[in-house]
Amino acid sequence: MRHPTRPPLNGRSWLHRLLTAGAALAGTLALAVGAAVPAAAVPAAGQSAAAPAFNYAEALQKSLFFYEAQQSGKKPAWNRVSWRGDSALTDGADVGLDLTGGWYDAGDHVKFGFPMAFSATMLAWGAVEYRDGYVAAGQLPHLLNNLRFVNDYFIKAHPAPNVLYGQVGKGDDDHKWWGPAEVMPMARPAYKIDASCGGADLAGETAAAMAASSMVFRPTDAAYADKLLTHARQLYTFADTVRRSYHECITDATNFYRSWSGWQDELVWGAIWLHRATGEAAYLAKAESEYDRLNTENQSSTRSYKWTIAWDNKQFGAYVLLANLTGKQKYVDDANRWLDYWTVGVNGEKIRYSPGGMAVLDTWGALRYAANTAFAALVYSDRTTDATRKARYHDFAVRQINYALGDNPRKSSYVVGFGANPPKNPHHRTAHGSWWDSSKVPTETRHVLYGALVGGPSSPNDAYTDNRDDYVMNEVATDYNAGFTSALARLTSQYGGSPLAGFPTPETPDIDELTVETTVTQAEPRATGLKAIVYNKSAFPARALTTARFRYYFRPDGTGPVQVTPGYTQGCPSPTAARQHSGDIWYVEIDCTGHTIAPAGQSAHRMEVQFKIGVPEGGTWDPTNDPSYQAAAGPNRKVALYSAGARVWGEEPGPATPDTTAPSAPGRPVASALTATGVTLTWPASTDTGGSGLAGYDVTRTSAGSDPVVVATTTNSLTVTGLTPERTYQFSVVARDGAGNRSAASPTLGVTTPAAPAPDTT
């Protein structure tokens, strides 16, 4: 979820990000600059920063995994996230196109093309510079998989030279719902820019992403690299021609990812990447000719340096890239000034630092900004000939990445599933796994969103709360991880490390995902009234039931024809007839085909049906020997639930075998709320393995001079009343099952009631 942020400081209107819960976050993970550096250019371990404090290869491995958790559309076979499934398979249908694929932006499910393209550019940039780091960590195949996945989406989104679909999903509609991607209930309109209403920022960034990605694929798939370059060239020409902000055309993006810096930075940025990908001097000349129109500090001719590279503004990355590519002094000066502001300061001003060493640019997603700047600083440090700045920028970058990994006053990682005390409750709908359309149900996050970098402390005080609803500190996003991932590749190439073997371990369901709960609503001499509710709390992965049916099994007594009476239903038709299963076992079937039961809301995740089974007047009816009968309300494993013909819950009755196994003995009762005339008893529950199910308990009360009193209950607690003050009682409990088998008695509890309160005579 992205929400509006405060206006920019110092008149830098281009820095204001009208986001919804993580948009500001998106920019900070991303751009380091420069030409590819040969291995010899990477400083040897121990050059200036201390030896590795963390396993950077493991962090890189997990950071890439996060992108697979963000995938939209058909889940590819290589996707390693066991709890994700297919989602948003009709994206683009409203415009007659296949716009499936791509990445969900953050903890929401909108596909915002602008930050998505930036994230892809940043990931590709890291691979261009530090491919050896990916190879050393064994992560190059995973990087190529994820970059191809997002670029395949860009290809779909660019069906004509001057047409680019830049968003799928309506921001507000998406954000007001909280549930897994696989069962989204809302419409997902597609939005485009074209020749009549263009967007130089969006088209320019997508051109940069595809050009940078072409460089990554060139060594292994030249044909695909050429395809990406064709699209990149067309998109850049489109951007250069239209020279307009994309939010003017895709107006729904205005409150989320409006480019406050304008489109000039993308014209420079896109041209640089096309030059690097093609080697054509014309693109470098174009970048340099557009450079002087980049933003400056307020009421100054000095290039902006008090912000950083992020989804909105790429000019800081342009400083580094052009300095590295050309060596020209003006680019070197701009890069030095910017990185000095983040390290030692400029003219007495510099970025705020926390006591623990975190560079804090802004409240929203502060670690993202620090990580983006760290990556750019590493790229620049590897090429600069200024020995002082080389060490300064390198050490700054290592310090910021290490802070995120756990070298901070809290001694805690800010990367989910990595290091010590990592965040457990990122602001992420699918990872949370709610079935209730609520960020508070369930309490615990059901999945580990490995590798996701959270926003982190929002102020320079090192303070952080792992609160799912705090999207400022706890949202995650594709752009948060992009520069961070690239920096990890660089540190892996320098310091080494080892990826985890066998990662990831497939997750298993934390609860019964699909269940049927029954309640006896009417216990009549000739019939049993039942309420049956199907629950779908699936999250491994989440899935909708559209062909569900379930069966309730029973035994007619042979004293008359069975009557099935329909009752209230939430949607699925209530049964009207019974069918024979085998022998003397029959069933009623509730067929919910055509009705959707999905973990998508308070009503959406359940389907209730009521009915009555019995015999006509004059017949006899005993439900206690019915295979599906359960006296206590709750999940009933004797009711079989099917989806697409496969049984997904419950048991079918086998051949009739008498249950002669008694339940286990209850535990010793414990007394509470003792008064002169009453007491509450609670005891450890019995278990029943004979097949007929636990039916209830008989509590026996004895006292000297009185006959025993037996009280039945269906739960493992009982409130006893009517006792005599100052008298000793003995209590024991016996469990009974549905077949009438009785357990051994529990250990006896002795209780002496206190004296009655003195009467009030005042």
Q: If you ran DSSP here, which 8-state letter would residue 486 be given?
A: H
Structure tokens at 242: 């239209």
List the beta bridge partners of residue 607. Answer: 534
Place of tokens 């949370």: 432
Identify the helix (H) or strand (E) that includes residue 723.
Answer: none
Q: Decide: residue 177, CB within 10 A, 0-12 exposed, 13-18 middle, 19+ buried.
A: middle
SS3 category, 370: helix
Residue type, position 139, single letter: Q
**Cα 243 from chain centroid (whole Å):** 36
Going by the DSSP 8-state scheme, the letter that residue 20 receives in this structure is E
Q: What are phi and psi of 714, to 5 degrees?
A: -100, 0
Question: Measured at the alpha carbon of residue 653, what is the angle toward residues 651 and 658, in degrees to the nearest 5?
Answer: 125
Q: Which of 209, 189, 190 is nearest to 201 (CA)?
A: 209
Helices (H), 158-244: 171-175, 200-217, 222-242
**DSSP 3-state of 317:** helix
Count CB atoms within 10 A of the CB of residue 512. Answer: 13
Residue 476 in 3-state DSSP?
coil
Q: Report the interhelical angle of 281-291 vs 315-326 (nearest 10°).
A: 130
The owner of tokens 């000034």 is 337
| 429 contacts 180 by C-beta, under 8 angstroms | yes
Q: Which residues lie closer than 8 Å to 102 by C-beta, 6 or more apart?
A: 71, 72, 73, 111, 113, 116, 149, 150, 153, 154, 157, 168
Amino acid at 349: E
Contact call for residues 377 and 362 (beta carbons, < 8 A) = no
Identify the CA nearest to 483 among candidates 374, 343, 340. Answer: 374
Bridge partners (DSSP) listed for residue 719: 680
Q: Which residues are catalytic?
A: 108, 427, 466, 475
CA 376, 381, 382, 386 torsion: positive or negative?
positive
Residue 355: cis peptide before it, omega within 30 degrees of 0: no
Task: Identify which of 373, 371, 448 has the alpha carbon closest to the alpha carbon of residue 416.
Answer: 448
Sign of the four-CA dihedral 474, 362, 32, 462: negative
One-letter amino acid identity for 571? G
Say how far apart CA 109 and CA 103 lie, in whole Å: 8
Sign of the alpha-carbon dihedral angle for 466, 508, 107, 359: positive
